[in-house]
Chain A
Amino acid sequence: MATSLDIRTEPGTPVTHRRPGSPRRHRLSRLDTKFSPYLYVAPFFLLFAVFGAYPLVYTLWVSLHEWDLLAQEHPFVGLANYSALMSDGDFWNSVYNTLGIFVLSTVPQLLLALWLANLLNRQLRARTFFRMGVLIPNITSTAAVAIVFGQLFSRDFGLVNWALGLVGAGPIDWNTSKLGSWVAISTMVDWRWTGYNALIFLAAMQAIPRDLYESAAIDGARPSRQFWSITVPLLRPTIVFCVIISTIGGLQLFTEPLLFNSGTNAIRGGTLRESQTMTMYMFENAFAPNYNFGYGAAIAWMLFALIVVVAIVNVLIIRRAARSA
């Protein structure tokens, strides 16, 4: 930043207004060129400082205290919250759930999106209609999606169990098994995000040169062979991008599992915490019923750490992918 400003004021560069007899103006103009770039970028940094950096640092500060939300005194306890967290089985359960739901939702989601994108990439009637159509679930409010799916997966009055009953399968209590609740929640996530990813894949697919397919066709490659040998390899960077986006969303999953568990103490995510994610566990501790803000803040930082770890893994994968490509 500083160097570019220096270049601008070097003698010889075009100076806009040079009016002899007006040194004040000149000085203002110099100040202007020096500081206005900072003003241009200020909105982002101010907003980031207020809504990003400050909460981050403040959360760290809170996590080092015994911080009852209503109390006037917040004694400093150092890393006690973190060491308690390390031996807290419920916390690790929530990490396990978060990663489990993440895998269970992301893998089918991306495969499905790839297949959808491939379909949409063909010569279809009303192509734009279908392409826009897959995005509709994404613009539906998460709460509405979660409530509707919660009803579909209801034990006694749900459509899914009714349909299972038609084919003779017994009703499943989706809320009370880990797998059941994970499947139900993953379904919600997939319904919402598959179309979005499909559109991104579609955009990348259209950038693949057609002559690759033509020459493959001349060599006798069938469409499925073309898909796996041309489309997928060339989509690799896009796939990695979608994985990263899904990771960020997946690790912060909150609304879907919360609304899936309706009733008393839904934040617990089931009687045995079958589908309690990290963000839910954070909320349970920081707010009702425990109001232990310090412990909640420590969980928030552990979540941050987990996202960093997963992000690093992602970066390593990208590097390897780039090298082998």
Chain B
Amino acid sequence: MHVNSRGRRFAAVAVAVTTATLLAACGGDDGDSGSGDGPITLTVDVFGQFGYEELYKQYEASHPNVKIVERGTGSNLDEYSPKLTQWLAAGKGAGDIVAIEEGLLVEYKANPGNFVNLLDHGAAELKGNFMEWKWSQGLTADGKQLIGLGTDVGGMAMCYRKDLFEKAGLPTEREAVSKLWPTWQDYVKVGEQFKAKNTGAAFLDAATNTFNTIVLQYGGAAGGYHYYDTSDNLVVESNPAVKQAWDTTMDIIDSGLSGKYQAWSDDWVAAFKQAKFATIACPAWMTGVIEGNAGADAAGKWDIASVPGDGGNWGGSFLAVPKQSKHQAEAIELAKFLTSPQGQIGAFKAKGPLPSSPQALDDPAITGATSAYFSGAPTGQIFGAGAKSLKPVYMGPKNQAVRTEVENAVRTVELGQRSPADGWTDAVNNAKKAADK
């Protein structure tokens, strides 16, 4: 153990330096802090398909000092939203612009301090660019802070496979198909006819998706709310709209129309490819999902008919700028550009999210739009028609957690794990529990 002191001292220093380096490396990078004259990079966090690629190119061309990076394209909302919450909680990591889905917006609105107030940056004058309810959704309860600018709305339709309808001896033209199901009761009847023909496919993908469509329709038509009333009281049990939607869904399950695929699972995706179901409740953004899941081989086999019952809204998003962004001014400008009528038209052309701007909806680019994938269906007209008159549904503070519980109860009945009555009891109790958490 005879080590000379210089060697030992050197070793000690080396150890200390290594430790310091390790710790520093764990601190992570601070991103580019390049402000001032140099080019800056704006990060946009999205989920699913927002269709912004072309718009970024345009924007970069007119703003040579800005480079735009999009993260999360194609990811699931379930993966995206916890990440966003963690970034906000940590005060670090979020993009300069973040997309927020309608159902989750309420939770972020409860803590508005995480976001830049867009009203302080001249957003007020943009109000006329959005449908009124879409604009108001982006505001905090006191109306003093605007969290997000609207991107799209989820006007509803019913997508169906023409080849399976033909096999079952049903009409395949979209007008004729729309006439088959003015109400959900008619839809169930058509489903029973379809089932009797044994095509080897189910009539619909999953009762949960259909239930969500119905509850949003009934809720919107009745009082403009579903799980929470507009004073934020949980009303799953007492709101007749929710119970009606539940009962209608139970009829669908009773008739054995569902393929019972867990929505968004690998099996669900595979079922698209293998043509294992004939219809799917289809908010505007779902068309992009169908195209992605069913693949190019199914081009021209799908078409779009009107949704049973009244129109309604499912989903749609907002763009917000987190306070942690180092380039707030530039980010706000880009968010304004992406949510402008022109920006929304560009996104619609790319991936199909339906504009939330009345000007965009009236634009010939939308009214004349057709989709080659969906057999040339006039998507702009089908979705745009109901969009301006649709009745939005109010979302309460724990909307997402409550919705999860109620849909999960639907799923237990669908899988035969619970009777409809027990399932309803579960839905009510678990929703209460989730709301209290």
Q: Could you tell me which A residues sit within 8 Å of B by CB distance?
A: 14, 16-17, 28-29, 32-33, 35-36, 39-40, 42-43, 46-47, 50, 68-72, 147, 150-151, 154-157, 173, 175-176, 262-266, 268, 271-272, 285, 287-293, 295
Contacts and interface: CB of A to CB of B under 8 A. Distances in A.
Contact of A264 (B12, B78, B417): B78
B116 to A, nearest CB: 16
Contacts of A263: 262-268
B415 A70 contact: no
Nearest to A158: B267
Contacts of B15: 39-40, 42-43
Interface in B380-419: 400-401, 404, 407-408, 411-412, 415, 417
A69 B407 CA distance: 24
B110 A50 contact: no
Contacts of B415: 173, 176, 271
Contacts of A29: 5
Given A42-B15, A70-B89, 15 more contacts: A14-B2, A39-B16, A71-B110, A147-B266, A156-B270, A157-B270, A157-B274, A263-B262, A263-B263, A264-B208, A264-B265, A266-B265, A288-B85, A289-B404, A293-B89
Given A46-B19, A69-B89, A264 B263 contact: yes
18 contacts: A14-B2, A16-B5, A32-B9, A35-B12, A39-B12, A40-B11, A42-B19, A50-B23, A70-B111, A154-B270, A155-B267, A156-B267, A157-B267, A263-B263, A263-B268, A264-B407, A288-B400, A291-B107
Given A264-B208, A291-B85, A16 B2 contact: yes
Contacts of B107: 70, 291
B129 interface: no
A289 B400 contact: yes
B81 interface: yes
B434 interface: yes
Contacts of A71: 110-111
Contacts of A14: 2
Nearest to A150: B266
Given A154-B270, A271-B412, A272-B417, A36 B114 contact: no
B231 interface: no
A32 B412 contact: no
A290 B401 contact: yes
Interface string B297-314: 000000000000000000
A289 B401 contact: yes
Nearest to B114: A70
B16 A42 contact: yes
B408 A262 contact: no
Contacts of A175: 262
Contacts of A36: 8-9, 11-12
Contacts of B58: none
B337 interface: no
B271 A288 contact: no
Given A263-B264, A291-B85, A268 B408 contact: yes
Contacts of B18: 43
Interface of B is mostly: helix
B88 interface: yes
Contact of B88 (A70, A176, A287, A295): A70
A43 B19 contact: yes
A36 B11 CA distance: 9
A17 B5 contact: yes
B4 interface: yes
A51 to B, nearest CB: 8
A262 B437 contact: no
Given A32-B12, A263-B265, A176 B417 contact: yes
A40 B221 CA distance: 71
Contacts of A40: 11-12, 15
B162 interface: no
A267 to B, nearest CB: 8
A14 B3 CA distance: 11
Contacts of A16: 2-5
B421 interface: no
A295 B108 CA distance: 19
Contacts of B114: 70
Contacts of A272: 412, 417
B108 A70 contact: yes
A69 B111 CA distance: 10
B8 A295 contact: no
B122 interface: no
Nearest to B271: A156
Given A16-B4, A32-B12, A291-B85, A72 B113 contact: yes
Contacts of B268: 263
A194 to B, nearest CB: 26
Contact of A46 (B23, B78, B208): B23
B22 interface: yes
Contact of A47 (B22, B81, B412): B22
B351 interface: no
Residue from A28, A36, A263, A291 whose CB has the most chain B CB atoms within 10 Å:
A263
Given A36-B9, A290-B401, A265 B23 contact: no
Interface string B12-37: 10011011001100100000000000
A263 B415 CA distance: 15
B5 A69 contact: no
Contacts of B110: 70-71
Interface in B238-258: none
Contacts of A155: 267
B86 interface: yes
Residue from A46, A155, A289 whose CB has the most chain B CB atoms within 10 Å:
A289
Contacts of A154: 266-267, 270
A254 to B, nearest CB: 14
B82 interface: yes
Residue from B110, B262, B415 whose CB has the most chain A CB atoms within 10 Å:
B262
Contact of B111 (A72, A147, A268): A72
Contacts of B161: none
A270 B336 CA distance: 41
B274 to A, nearest CB: 7
Contact of A265 (B8, B78, B270): B78
